[in-house]
Amino acid sequence: MSATLKSVSEAGTSIWLDDLSRERMIPNGKSRNLATLIAEEYVVGVTTNPAIFSASISQSSLYSDDLKALAAQGHNAESIITELTTADVAQACDLFIPVYERSAGVDGRVSIEVDPRLARDTSTTVSQARELWAKVNRPNVLIKVPATVEGLPAIRTLIAEGISVNVTIIFSVERYKAVLDAFITGLEERHNKGLPVSDIHSVASFFVSRVDTEIDARLKSHSHSDAPSLLGKAAIANARLAYQHFEEVLSSQRWKKLEGAGASIQRPLWASTGVKDPAYDPTQYVIDLVAPLTVNTMPEPTLISVRDQGRYKGNTVVGHYETSLQVIDQLASIGIDINEVATKLENEGIDKFIKPWLELIAAVEAASRQ
Q: Where are the domains of the chain?
A: 3-369
8-state DSSP, 1? -
Amino acid at 294: T
β-bridge partners, 15: 43, 296
d(CA 263, CA 184): 10
- In this predicted structure, the answer to whether residue 218 has a pLDDT above a threshold of 70 is yes
Average of per-residue pLDDT across 313-322: 98
Is the separation of the CB atoms in 162 and 200 below 8 Å? Answer: yes
Give the closest residue to 147 by CA, choosing from 108, 105, 114, 190: 114
| H helix intervals, 229-320 | 234-250, 253-260, 284-287, 300-309
How far apart, in Å, are the Cα atoms of 239 and each of 21, 172, 200, 271, 340? Answer: 29, 8, 24, 10, 16
Torsion 300-305-308-312 (CA) sign: negative
Task: Please give the pLDDT value at position 232.
Answer: 97
Determine if the pTM surpasses 0.75: yes
List residues with catalytic annotation: 144
Give the whole-angstrom CA distance, residue 168 versus residue 353: 12
Can you tell me whether residue 282 is helix, strand or coil?
A: coil
Three-class SS state of 168: strand
Mean pLDDT to the nearest integer, 331-358: 96
- Confidence check: pLDDT of 1 > 60: no
Given a cut of 90, whether residue 207 has pLDDT beyond it is yes
- Of 73 and 58, which is predicted with more confidence? 73
* pLDDT given for residue 31 in this prediction: 54
17 phi and psi, to 5 degrees?
Answer: -95, 130
Instruction: Determine the Cα–Cα distance for residues 318 and 277; give it in Å rounded to an integer.
Output: 26
What rounded mean pLDDT belongs to the chain? 95
Cα separation, 345 vs 235, in Å, equals: 12
Return the DSSP state at 268: E
The residues with which 109 forms a beta bridge, in sequence order, are 45
Say which range, 25-39, 45-59, 130-144, 216-230, has the weakest mean pLDDT: 25-39
Residue-level pLDDT at 28? 61
Averaged pLDDT, 13-35: 84
- The verdict on domain 3-369 having CATH code 3.20.20.70 is yes
Number of neighbouring beta carbons within 10 Å of residue 319:
10
Contacts of 105 (CB under 8 A, 6+ apart): 139, 140, 199, 201, 264
